[in-house]
Structure 1
């Protein structure tokens, strides 16, 4: 293999694998049960990023794929344009299936981390989720609203892990 091809292969590997990191001070939950996690989740809070900017009534729907992965369908209402937007993706475990650490792709071979760092393990009613770094953070719940105690706990745990919680967006779920 030529040096050019080796460099391209190395660059491709670094690029494709570079978004599978985990923010400092964030560890995925263990004892994770995918079948209990499947179904609809409502986005309660998030840090802003371009692919959800201006969206309200955001949900994520997870279901099993035939290849053992997870089908992901994100949906949100773009208020400024008065239209719904959807994105379909796929996810796979990075480590063993009992660890809440997945890689998610909406764009071909490019994956990003999906790290569940807090979870209601009794009833799977809420999840705190991070991406590959401190600029990606979500609070997901099975219901469109949650109590103030959970919101406070989410913000405090996220702040302790290095997220800028002063920039949290609380998602409007009702029309």
Structure 2
């Protein structure tokens, strides 16, 4: 397996490119609602990316996962893993740090040593989490990103319908949501 870790310069470029060219997939006049009582310890662990709104930093990524681990200082280590081009393609990882930023809200930086610079932090708002923390819907106020995450590589049609409803209620354009190939269970 080929493995490469994104360098800080690459991540910086991706973040700046995302800010400049990111398409807004939501009507920003619609108020976003987040999970008011996000159980951070329950949210930790491995999540599979089931669907996403296209973004420059995940271009050509399949088999995407995100893994969260709480740190003693209250912050959260984040490791995003992508397979480039195919489920058996080369692995790329981006490592970051998140910090709580309000009810159901995290601020994430993939340039942790510069996380004090506000323009290098991304909004990561948990819009919905299912009972048992098996499925989550995440977005940001600008609507430039959005994800459906699950604890397994596949979800039911009912779960997908719930995720789509959450996005719709938060002003997202459902026609832009794309499914992400995952390896079968």
Give me the TM-score of the superposition, normalised by structure 1. 0.80
CA-atom RMSD, angstroms? 2.0
Show the counterpart of 1:111: 121
Residues 1:148 and 2:152 aligned together: no
1:94 Cα shift? 0.9
Distance, in Å, in 2 between the alignment partners of 1:142 and 1:163 is: 23
1:82 Cα shift? 2.7
Match of residue 62, structure 1, among 68, 73, 81: 68
Gaps of 5+ in 2: 1-18, 20-27
Q: Where does 1:1-175 land on structure 2 (aligned, <5 Å)?
A: 24-79=30-85, 82-95=89-102, 99-107=103-111, 108-109=114-115, 110-120=120-130, 122-174=131-183
How many correspondences in the alignment?
Answer: 151
Distance, in Å, in 2 between the alignment partners of 1:82 and 1:26 is: 36
Give me the TM-score of the superposition, normalised by structure 2. 0.76
Gaps of 5+ in 1: 1-17
Q: Which has the higher Rg, Structure 1 or Structure 2?
A: 1
* Residue pair 2:137, 2:149 contacting (<8 A) in 1 also: yes
Distance, in Å, in 2 between the alignment partners of 1:82 and 1:35 is: 32
Distance, in Å, in 1 between the alignment partners of 2:177 and 2:139 is: 13
Distance, in Å, in 2 between the alignment partners of 1:124 and 1:146 is: 13
